[in-house]
Amino acid sequence: MSEGWTRTTCPYCGVGCGVLAKPRDDGSAEIKGDPEHPANFGLLCSKGSALGETLSLDGRLLKPIVDGVDTDWDEALDLVAQRFKETIAEHGPDSVAFYVSGQLLVEDYYVANKLMKGFVGSANIDTNSRLCVFRRRPPPRLRLGHCAGNL
């Protein structure tokens, strides 16, 4: 590996593709796939290839805003909990859903599923993994040893 490059993992989905990143003087980074990584062998999807463009904090929401007013996290989370409670009371548990990240750890998935299925009482939970992983990589048969179909 050339000097200045850092091995890391793509944060976008659950595949965990290997990425090589090299800082630039302007605060951005040059990004390329890690040819030695077994998950992607140097290939990156369009999101992974654009990682260097996402490093700036410009234009990002860095604190909660409720009704156009800056607020603290406790107030914002209390509001979310209250709205969930009101929606479930009025329309039932299947009126809400969780759409969670493909980058969660197994333990995090467990807690999210327990919250949705055990506490809320709905099975409306899914991850972005099925929607953003397979279409941009080599065919699943080449990676997994069998055909995973069109996921």
Which among 120, 80, 10, 91 has a CA at the least distance from the CA of 111?
120
Going from the N-terminus, what domains does the chain have, and what CATH number goes with each?
6-54 (3.30.200.210), 65-134 (no CATH)
Beta strands in 34-129 (DSSP E): 65-66, 69-70, 98-100, 125-127
Per-position pLDDT tens, the chain of length 151: 668 999 999 887 778 899 999 998 888 899 999 999 999 999 998 888 988 888 878 888 999 999 999 999 999 999 999 999 999 999 999 999 999 887 777 899 999 999 999 999 999 999 877 665 555 445 444 444 433 333 3
Cα separation, 147 vs 63, whole angstroms? 44
Please tell me the predicted confidence (pLDDT) of residue 1: 64
* pTM above threshold 0.75: no
Q: Which of 41, 31, 24, 28 is nearest to 8 (CA)?
A: 31
CA distance 145 to 106: 23
